[in-house]
Chain A
Amino acid sequence: MAYSQTLARRGFWAGLSRDALALGAMVLALGLTIAISLCLGSHNIPLEETLKLVWLKLTGQEVDPLYRRSEVVLFAIRLPRILMAFLVGASLSLAGAAYQALFRNPMVSPDILGVSSGAGVGATLAISWGLPTLGLHFMAFVFGLLAVFLVLFVTHLVSHGKSLLVLILVGVVVSALFGALGSFVKYLSVDDQTLSSMVLWLMGSFAHAGSWPNVSVMALAFCLGGIPLWLTRWRINALAFGEEEAQSMGVGYERLRLVIIIGSTLLTASAVALCGLIGWVGLIIPHLSRFLVGPNFGRLCPAAVLGGGLFMLIVDSLVRVALPGEMPVGIVTSLVGAPLFIYILCLGRKTWI
């Protein structure tokens, strides 16, 4: 089988190098964006100064008191916020990519499945009860899971899970239901202070979330949710043809489904718990990533992580630097996301509609 072996080698590397190029370009863009984002803000820091401070920090040297202010801005304010934006964008995008693979439906995302609004309700409840951060996370996760399982259950009742359209419709309905529940909780909250903090927080923002403790919580959630998805990346591909075919190929469908749902819901819920509702990222970035590297999850996974993080970081930097005040980033992702998605629909029409 010498022929097939040479074919194998050439084909395999040819495919890999093209995708590696795409991923490499994304890493590069990410590095650049981080550098620019570190420098700019209400207190601009020259690039040399930023690089020098980062170098001093990395090598553990003493910082000249002259640069104290820049040091605080860089390492106590900007860097954690940048990391937070990256992690949240990456989490939402990876969760979206995984849900889309599981449901074989490129129209599905954490928002459309109701996970985001479910997690939002959980978090709102936690705030109104005055629960600590851990309780808030827990409530967001539980309500997020509740929303997915409700969507799955109703879809099964209606169409035995065979119809891609029914899944989306049920997701929209469940989202609306949880949205109403969220409003109800807000309505019940007595004092205006809590209410306005809830509303503002639900709009999605990194302005208050970017602290080191929050970043470490988000990083932990990203690992807990993301690593199982990465490890099963190859099996996830086998879901592309549906449950029966996956079974006939020896894939344990139920277990894989559970891994994907729990992992993705954890990613989404943690993002919502820390930064509020940030829509569209989980729908658009997996789409764009598939355009770049194809649907093979082994490549889609890193592409979605890098792309989601990059997108979120760019949007948050724009919000921070270019817009007056602190506009919630969720508003901007929706403003950018909706037209972008329509453009993608036009582009991708022939591949899956």
Chain B
Amino acid sequence: MDLILENVSCGYGSKVILAGVNATIPQGQAFGLLGPNGIGKTTLFKAILGFLPLMAGRVRLDSADLKSLSRSARARLMAYVPQAQFTPFAFRVLDVVLMGRAAYMGFWGRPGRADLRAADISLARMGIDFLRERPFTELSGGEKQLVLIARALAQEPRFLMMDEPTSNLDFGNQVKVLKIIRDLAKAGLGVVLTTHYPDHVFQCASQAGLLLPNGNLIVGPYESVLTSENLSAAYGAPVSVLKWPGAGEDFRVCRPGYF
């Protein structure tokens, strides 16, 4: 299944922030969306998720227009992982993950055995079974992020939309979450993530989108999109992309231009 953006324009009220965005994101790959502050990454993200109405164009999953799908049908195809969120109430981790099962129930429904199992499976998949009975509000930022990923997985979606999954995390948790994203994509999920760090895209994604200051979006395999020239132009700061020497997989890092 492919996630297809077709000539998408989005913005707030009557103000257009991005126009004419085209991209095809296949399932089974991670797609990293990069761009300078205030260029409209979040806006595009929210438009894909349906939080903002599209001003023009379509977002499709294969041939199905997302707009034509019911909210729960959409939730079964696409799940959202927000940045670790504030909630005033100390819900049990299990209850938080079970919320991801709402799309499989009617308006008056409540979770049954199968939902409980799905929640446990996704907790186990994130390796956080031991957090199951803990109050969500008492977890660390990294643990919260893992719980929110588990909640999204409990939706059993085809695509995961992750909003800056590595921000607010310490280095160890960043590495952990990036590895998880990589593994989820390998396991067949489509992952779209936004981030401020090209390095994070190198570490977990195979596809990249780069928003330029003029509002254009360059899309493609990261090696052709995240080049020294493109990144320098996008961020207005000299950057060079280095290929890591040595055998094995292609691995790149960014180096600031003043070195």
Contact = CB atoms under 8 A, between A and B. Distances in A.
Contacts, number: 123
A240 B120 contact: no
Interface in B64-84: 71-76, 78-80, 82
A159 interface: no
B89 A247 contact: no
* Interface-centre pick from A295, A296, A298 (highest chain B CB count, 10 A): A295
B91 A247 contact: no
B109 A234 contact: yes
A8 B117 contact: yes
Nearest to B151: A249
Contacts of B110: 233-234, 298
Contacts of A290: 89-90
A250 B89 contact: no
A59 interface: no
A308 B96 CA distance: 26
Contacts of A214: none
* Interface-centre pick from A3, A234, A244 (highest chain B CB count, 10 A): A234
B121 interface: yes
Given A232-B108, A237-B91, A294-B90, A11 B85 contact: no
Interface string B87-99: 1111110111011
* Interface-centre pick from B50, B72, B88, B124 (highest chain A CB count, 10 A): B88
Contacts of B46: 244
A1 B121 contact: yes
A296 B92 contact: yes
Contacts of B132: 7, 11
A290 B92 CA distance: 12
B116 interface: yes
Nearest to A12: B116
A15 interface: yes
Given A4-B120, A247-B71, A296 B85 contact: no
Contacts of A235: 102, 107
A133 B252 CA distance: 76
Nearest to B104: A250
B137 interface: yes
Interface band, chain B:
35 or more
A164 B86 CA distance: 11
B26 to A, nearest CB: 21
Contact of B72 (A1, A4, A232, A250): A250
B250 interface: no
B85 A241 contact: yes
A295 B90 contact: yes
A249 B94 contact: no
A14 B46 CA distance: 39
Interface string A267-298: 00000000000000000000000100011101
Interface string A224-257: 0000000111110110111011111111100110
A15 B133 CA distance: 8
Nearest to A3: B124
Nearest to B46: A244
Contacts of A241: 82, 85, 87, 99
Interface string A1-27: 101110110011011000000000000
Nearest to A290: B89
B121 A4 contact: yes
B258 interface: no
Contact of A250 (B75, B88, B123, B137): B75
Contacts of B171: none
Nearest to A9: B116
B129 A237 contact: no
Given A249-B100, A290-B89, 20 more contacts: A4-B117, A11-B133, A231-B108, A233-B110, A234-B109, A237-B95, A238-B102, A241-B82, A244-B46, A244-B49, A245-B80, A245-B82, A245-B85, A248-B75, A249-B75, A250-B76, A252-B71, A255-B107, A294-B92, A298-B110
Interface of A: 1, 3-5, 7-8, 11-12, 14-15, 101, 104-106, 164, 231-235, 237-238, 240-242, 244-252, 255-256, 290, 294-296, 298, 351-352
8 contacts: A4-B124, A104-B88, A232-B108, A244-B51, A248-B78, A249-B155, A250-B73, A296-B92
